[in-house]
Structure 1
């Protein structure tokens, strides 16, 4: 039923306005659906990431020559570690960091390092990298190593 108080131009204008509002509503619903899907995907990714915790590489290092160790070994080793996804979490003791290892029970090692890696495979890839094997030979002139990796717990 047509409103007799509206002339033809007003009816056309009202019709167009109504149609435009419907279009905007549909666009809004579509954008909302896209945003929900994107957020849902991020949530799934976060859950997956939590299911696979990082791996921590721990090194107890008996440094006999801190200067040689710091100058000849460390810069090259850090570069290769980083290339394999290793991220330094803590380092203390010999080699000029100024941070000391604190003994709680027993004797503290001269140097301790803790690196975080995305996986055990990343730790193994770093340790077996021929470039690191060469650098490690340099490090062994200045230090003795005791190293191991520990898988993190899901958070």
Structure 2
């Protein structure tokens, strides 16, 4: 009798854990990274632009990974971009909302003097 009760209790705990994990996964958003491939047009304009861009990103809960001065090295495929920026976001939705925001649009004149965005995209990261 004790073994039967123990087995029932263990089965209930296991089912409960699976249900809780499933419910948690349904509500969890995946982190995302935005990759911006850029060509630097004017280094001094970029130096003036970056602090403002980084502040806007931080205010929107993004985390700029400060790759502006980093080397971009080809490993496979075509030629790498001349410059790449990486930004971490809590979700793709947060990233897209930021890059479509008025604050980001208002920064366009300053950004356009500093860099030419060749391509920008977001990648979700599995947990």
* Other structure's SS at 1:109 match: coil
Q: 1:143 aligns with which of 107, 115, 123?
A: 115
Q: Which runs of 5+ in 1 are unaligned?
A: 1-39
Deviation at 1:136, TM superposition (A): 2.2
Match of 1:152 in 2: 125
Question: Closer, same or farther in 2 for the Cα pair 1:49/1:59, shift >3 Å?
Answer: farther
Residue segments in structure 2 that go unaligned for 5+ positions in a row: 1-16
Alignment of 1:66 onto 2:66 = no
What is the alpha-carbon root mean square deviation over aligned residues? 2.4
Choose between structure 1 and 2 for higher RCO, CA contacts under 8 A separated by at least 6 residues: 2
Label 1:52 to 1:121 Cα distance change in 2 as closer, same or farther (>3 A): closer
CA shift in 2, pair 1:49/1:116, >3 Å: farther
Q: Specify whether residues 131 and 51 from structure 1 end up closer, same or farther in structure 2 by C-alpha distance, changes over 3 A only.
A: closer
Tell me the matched-pair count.
105
TM-score (norm 2): 0.70
- Higher Rg of the two aligned structures: 1
With normalisation by structure 1, the TM-score equals: 0.59
